[in-house]
Structure 1
């Protein structure tokens, strides 16, 4: 798997994706890095399938890969994983939503090339119709990744306990059952500014990595 990932990174070049290439994919706020972390200090990527706007599956995957790389760039010291909080508010199974092939591509990228980066996946308030879709998709999910996926529903006692085990309710927005009394509205202009600033850090990081490799090869 390590060799395959090296080959994938060489071909796909995830470290070279920049925000201006994928910003249009993020206009609706379908995926963004939250301004809070989970109980274990892991950064949180919020995904909202109901705000899907992709014209192509490739664009959707590339946007997500960019944000995974960005989350990794912003991992706190001593932390190597992130959390996915997938909010199904406003979701419906229609042509505008992610199709099976794109979902499989996302699963493949995640479990084949970022297997140890995922701490937990919370599927928050998925509609019943999604369960049938997920049942088919689950055949493509490896057992280790599958165990990290949690279905959570509002006002459900067991689900509330799951959320409390992974999130500090004092930092969690009320729309996810927390005590922070505001809606987590997405501001594309503000988020774009943050991503452009991070692109500078990304370029410096990969330039320093490249220099380090070249220096090593030169000795």
Structure 2
């Protein structure tokens, strides 16, 4: 896949608030613009919550939101993200050490997504994008009743080098998050980036929309001021020690795999799943 990216200066203006009545009216307008065929094709995806997030991402402009939804539907037809299961992922056990969903929420009840950016895996960049999409699908569950901005994303940059994350992979990941899963990320924690990351960030930030850019927070475990950000967001008894928490237990891959397979069952994409119930 290749995409055209807007720089921050070309991006749409900040989102404006709307009353609940106006939100419902605009959701209805988008449904009318989409037509019955598309809504019949993807009824679970096209919930009111999903449409509302696309409207927010397009500053409540119904035509732009409809266009964005249609582009996402086209992508979902081709990529089929709702059909990706844990057992479809290449090198999934090692991949889970690089990107995973912890079994705790933040203090505001939001989901947490952790990526260990510099960790090496045997998978290709294409497979790592598939891994990301799998987690995005999991995090966007229950969109009808879920809150907007419902995920806190922690990125561990310890040991990062310019070869750790190719620019194309970062750009494509950002494109998918911002265009196909808008309104999902509440905060993006950039943890312990090395000095060399500054030059990479100067390039990358031009592909981040203003609304997302404002959610990025740089945190350093040896800096007391930035650590207060983590203390405000997380229960330190649950937060991993590498991020300044007190949890040193590490990831149990067997239990984690069972949890993700159960999640696949809930999503309705299981394929002869054998869940080890004794690990719960």
TM-score by length of 2: 0.65
Alignment pair present for 1:187 and 2:187: no
- In the TM superposition, 1:128-139 aligns within 5 A as 128-139=195-206
- In the TM superposition, 1:107-186 aligns within 5 A as 107-178=174-245, 180=246, 182-183=247-248, 185-186=250-251
Aligned equivalents of 2:249, 2:183: Cα separation in 1: 27
CA contact (8 A) 1:87 1:123 kept: yes
Alignment pair present for 1:8 and 2:84: no
1:202 is aligned to 267
TM-score by length of 1: 0.82
Gap runs ≥5 in structure 1: 206-219
Aligned equivalents of 2:93, 2:157: Cα separation in 1: 17
Q: Which has the higher strand share?
A: 1
Aligned equivalents of 1:184, 1:41: Cα separation in 2: 22
One of 157, 172, 178 as aligned partner of 1:88 = 157
1:214 is aligned to none
- Following superposition, the deviation at residue 74 of structure 1 comes to 7.4
- Following superposition, the deviation at residue 12 of structure 1 comes to 1.3
Aligned equivalents of 2:141, 2:103: Cα separation in 1: 15
Secondary structure of the 1:172 match is: coil
CA contact (8 A) 1:52 1:98 kept: no
Aligned equivalents of 2:232, 2:114: Cα separation in 1: 18
- Following superposition, the deviation at residue 101 of structure 1 comes to 0.3
Deviations 1:102-140 (A, max 9, x none): 010000000111111111100110111112111111111
Q: Which has the larger radius of gyration?
A: 2
Aligned equivalents of 1:143, 1:195: Cα separation in 2: 33
Alignment pair present for 1:61 and 2:129: yes
- Following superposition, the deviation at residue 49 of structure 1 comes to 1.1
Aligned equivalents of 1:70, 1:52: Cα separation in 2: 23
Q: How many residues matched?
A: 200
Aligned equivalents of 1:122, 1:146: Cα separation in 2: 11
Gap runs ≥5 in structure 2: 1-67, 271-280
